[in-house]
Structure 1
Amino acid sequence: MNKAGLVEIIHESVGGTKAACEQAMEKVIETITNTLKKGDDVSIAGLGIFTAKQRAARQARNPRTGEMVNVPAMKVPKFKPSKHLKDAVR
């Protein structure tokens, strides 16, 4: 399932135009992204919690050349599924 598939399902169940459903989906993704950029969490009941975790700087090896490179500290998005979602998938 991809974004287009989700938009199609929302369109079939809610109605309206596909463009409006796609715009709503884009706004949800944009809002989650902007909230994580600010350092806040996004909790959606029944789905899970989106967070931005700080990853420390580290040394890594380039697999092609074997050269050691520095990887800077960065924030990475994380998702923790809710108990409801975990139980539904099992």
Structure 2
Amino acid sequence: MKKEEIIALLVERTNMRKKDVKELLNAFEEIVLEGVKEGKKVPLGALGYFKKVERSARTGHNPKTGEKIQIPATVVPKFVPGKKFKEAVK
């Protein structure tokens, strides 16, 4: 599903103007990005939540050569699905 399809569905279900829905969705994206960046857990109701996760440094290997390489520590975003979301997907 593309962003434009989501916007069209929201327009249909809320009777809001397309312009207003776009602004709302863009603002929502910014709020989620800022919250996760600040290290906050950002809930999305029954869908789940986004959070920031720190991955420690580890040793990996190059699949072509088999050579061991050091993978540095990093911070990544993570989505944790909620119980209702998991059940709906089953």
Rounded Cα–Cα distance in structure 2 between residues aligned with 1:66 and 1:84: 42
Show structure 2 runs of 5+ residues with no match. none
Deviation at 1:43, TM superposition (A): 1.4
Rounded Cα–Cα distance in structure 2 between residues aligned with 1:24 and 1:51: 21
Deviation at 1:44, TM superposition (A): 2.0
Show structure 1 runs of 5+ residues with no match. none
Amino acid in the other structure paired with 2:38: K
CA RMSD of aligned residues (A): 1.9
SS of structure 2 residue aligned to 1:32: helix
- Equivalent residue for 1:54? 54
TM-score (norm 1): 0.82
Rounded Cα–Cα distance in structure 2 between residues aligned with 1:78 and 1:52: 6
- Equivalent residue for 1:80? 80
Q: Which moved more, 1:69-78 or 1:59-68?
A: 59-68
Aligned positions, number: 90
C-alpha distance after superposition, 1:10-67 (max 9, x if no partner): 0111122211101111111110110000011011221101111001234555667877
Q: Which moved more, 1:21-30 or 1:63-72?
A: 63-72
- Equivalent residue for 1:7? 7
